[in-house]
Structure 1
Amino acid sequence: MGLLEGEKVHLWTYPRFISAKSGKIYIDGLPLDKIQAASLRAHIGIVNQDSFLFHASVRDNIAFGKPDASQEEIEVAAKIAHAHLFISQLVDGYATPVGDRGVQLSGGQRQRICIARAILSNPSILLLDEATSALDTESERLVQNALDHLMHNRTTLVIAHRLSTIQRADLIVVLDQGRIVAQGTHESLLAEDGLYSRLIEMQQFTPY
């Protein structure tokens, strides 16, 4: 379980890609800087707005974090990520090259392959950084369904402007100009009639 202490701890300090300038993060009671980076990253899955894919096959991209995965394991992860159907329709299926940074695929397809990759690695901690912000409505629906499966029974930290991504969160922290202005559940924040409820209204948010 992750605990953030302090006002300005960047999300990407969790896998120690950058160092925190202030504040501290604890995981299972241990300070982040006391955990070996390789061990830490083995327990963290990341899906962000820039769904990065390697110039390799679909299979290799999904299996990046678990290169010894069987074809069956890869296909199970793809099915959970709502990616198996479109992958099966590609010219060479899972052996199809995706091109540089996944240029051969749509944004929603790239995102679902990244989610399948995270599912296959089965991380203890999941970081979602604007994971649906660049998608059209239909792609967002499919990706959100995949994310719901991925977030189940694991610690998940989500940064999002599209509030459909965070409605079911145990704790929502509302930031304004880099400061915490409110925190609570979706229902309690709506009842406060503050910034969160105004953002919901602006987005014409419809609950699941």
Structure 2
Amino acid sequence: MVPKEIPEKLGEIVVEVYPTGPRRYVLTLSSYNRVREAAKILFDEGFRLSTITTLDRGFYFELLYHFVRKNVVASIRILVPKGESKVPSITPIIPGANWIEREVRDLFGIEFIDHPEPRRVILPPEWESEPPLRKPVAPELPETYANYFMSLATKAALASLSGLVKRRRRQMGLPEVVTPVHESEDVINEVKKISKELKIDRKVPIRGE
């Protein structure tokens, strides 16, 4: 189990604790703005920062701050909306985070507030293009949601029918697909337009294109 004193000291800062392996735990924070506060608590309890993992999830970034104490790994997890892309720096309390945060800034474009030395460490100072590892703002849709969107974009329907329901409808002499009462070509075209603007069409194949 995660050391009992850690969740107790973090208190309401943490909304979820779950194991990812033997003596490895992820602590999800209630807000990315409290990462410095949480990092200081772990640091004061004898944990040392190992590294920071950054994942681009489309609409948001997922950051994992991995702390180690003896044989226990506790990872602070925060979610940062891409529209914000600013996180409190933990370098003022943990100097070893200096270069790691600067690497994340260069590669993903996340700014670390109050970083004492925010110079580029990977990219040249004159770099003005998009950060190399930053994806376009586009969601990674689970298969179920993708099916819903495909149905909405092609038939103006809010949900797709299962194979069983379609077979039953065929047996009853009914069309496989229910024609929506408010089906509109304008609505379908608008949904397709939105999907392209948000790059959803890269994740979900839109029929009829």
TM-score normalised per structure 1: 0.32
**Which has the larger helix fraction?**
1
Of structures 1 and 2, the one scoring higher in RCO (CA 8 A, sep 6+) is: 1
Output the TM-score relative to the length of structure 2: 0.31
Greater strand proportion: 2
